[in-house]
Amino acid sequence: MPDEGPSFKTCDEGFAAVLGSRPDIRLFLQHDEYPWAHEACVFIPSTGDLFITSNRVSVDEDEQKIVITKVNITGDVSAARRDEISAPDIAMANGGVNYKDGVLFCSQGDRNRPAGLWHMDARSPHKVTPVLTSFNGRPFNSLNDVVVHPEDGSIWFTDPVYGAEQGFRPPPQLPNQVYRYDPQKGTVRAVADGFDRPNGLCFSPDLSTMYITDTGLIHGDGSSSFRRPATIYAFDIISRSGQPFLANRRLFAMADNGVPDGIKTDEAGNVYSGCGDGIHVWSAGGVLLGKIMIPGGVANFCFCRRGEIMALNETKLWQIKLSDGCIGSLLKL
């Protein structure tokens, strides 16, 4: 039976406030040559550009690469196009976030170059600069996703072992952990462990909670097990001796289809995550409000202009219209 088209599925009456009166999903751009629309999905308001990283692309039997693409989303959909960005210093780019008028990318590294954080200018020629390339001299595994605290400028990121499992990184020298980097002091701390495969992360709109996804159900070698997590955990952000800590870990939600990958919140506190059948939306209390159904699922996405989400679907980029009152807490547009 062929896949049904994109749609909205209501699971709780609270989803009506998210959808608004005229919700819509439309295909913005499709390119079938390779899975170019996989991760990052960082919108730059000043230029109208969306920065996207691909899934892994085989160069030959022994080499893989990831392609960074820029798409301007301010024009008419009929004129939409992809521009591939040359950034050879960023090895196997993955997640990203807005940072200093550009994009802060997670570099997963490869067998010759370290994993770490790299900044790319939003405007051509897209200069790239290293931000962090080790845990106090000890190599990271393969950084996956990143978020920046809007008040103190600290950088929080996940570091699972996918690179080694997928054959482009050396054996791990660190556990699957979450880190906080203070760029003003140049210090980096491990702030959470005990994950199978930590992946996406984001703050609640009031900055009191951090949500972290665990995509352990699917490992990088292609194996999967329903005994492993497909889970979002919530942590309270507390202060001790002038430093933030993640405390009171609790299971916030579990995805019923695929794994929760990229994750965002809106200004009302609702939690959105890309899953196996689209984007799932939970209330701040962990109630599944509904789903934005996209055949093939969504790895990552972002809020752009008011009431708008752009969603990555491997070879397709989707534009989703929700309520005008639905505002992403990252950019607050």
So what's the pLDDT on residue 1? 42
Q: How far is residue 330's CA from residue 333's CA, in Å, rounded to a whole number?
A: 9
Mean pLDDT of 15-32: 97
Kindly report, residue by residue over 58-84, the tens digit of the pLDDT: 988 889 999 999 999 998 888 899 999
Residue 31 per-residue DSSP state: -
pTM listed for this prediction: 0.97
Token representation of residue 272: 């959105």
For residues 331 and 333, give the distance between their C-alpha atoms in angstroms, rounded to a whole number: 5
DSSP codes joined into one string, 200-230: EEEE-TTSSEEEEEE-TTB-TTS-B-TTS--
> If you write DSSP's letter for every residue of 62-98 in order, what string do you get?
TEEE--EEEEE-SS-GGG---EEE--TTSTTEEEEEE
Across 222-260, b (16+ Cβ under 10 Å) vs e yields eeeeeebbbbbbbbebeeeeeebebeeeeebbebeebbb
List, for residues 174-205, the tens digit of each pLDDT value. 999 999 999 999 999 999 999 999 999 999 99
Please, what are the domains in the chain?
A: 7-321 (2.120.10.30)
| DSSP reduced 3-state for 124 | coil
Percent of the chain's residues with pLDDT above 90: 95
Distances from the Cα of 117 to the Cα of 179, 244, 289, 327, angstroms: 12, 21, 34, 27
pLDDT tens-digit readout, 295-319 = 999 999 999 989 999 999 999 999 9
Sign (positive or negative) of CA dihedral 130, 135, 139, 143: negative
